[in-house]
Amino acid sequence: MLGIGKWRIEKQKIDAMKKWRFIPILFTILVISNSCLNRQFVEGRAEIVSSSYLALNDSSLVFGHLYHVDGSGVETCHENEFEIWIENSDLKTTNDTTRYYSLKVAPGTYTIKGQSSGNKWARLIEEVKNVDLKKNTKTEINFYIGYAVE
């Protein structure tokens, strides 16, 4: 027969074990629910709209607007909601409240990319490759940014 002191210690051990018995079950449910997430991507696109010649002091200007790929109607847009940059360079910018952006660059051939500022998926970076920007040209490129559905 157990003494009163030993009985209390045994009861405390059992109570402690009961307290933590659901942790492995909760952990298993959490792992399963995250691994079964059916993430789908809505693809975006980018397009060159126009190119014209101006006096730009032997530079080139890339400009345009950024949209959500299936945005319908009037969408609100916040400043710095989208990022635009030229691959393999330090040249980058963000949009204003009208979704407008512009970058003044030296003439050359570039890959220009755009994405939502909160994007964490490389798949949702839209790009236009091998854009040949000649001196004194103004080239409009619009981006239609995709998104992930969880």
What would the pLDDT profile of 8-66 be if each residue is shown by its tens digit?
Answer: 767 676 776 666 666 677 667 666 655 555 666 777 878 888 777 777 888 999 999 99
Q: How far apart are the C-alpha atoms of 86 and 130, rounded to whole Å? A: 11
CATH H superfamily, domain 40-149? Carboxypeptidase-like, regulatory domain (2.60.40.1120)
Check if the beta carbon of residue 117 is closer than 8 Å to that of residue 83.
Answer: yes
pTM: predicted TM-score of the whole model, two decimal places: 0.67
pLDDT digits (tens, 9 = 90+) for 88-127: 999 999 999 999 999 999 999 999 999 988 877 888 889 9
Q: State the chain's mean pLDDT as an integer.
A: 81
Nearest alpha carbon to residue 51 among 43, 65, 59, 61: 61
Element (H, E) at 101: strand 100-105
3-state SS, residue 33? helix
Tokens of 121: 């998926």
Q: Please, what sign has the CA dihedral across residues 127, 129, 135, 138?
A: negative
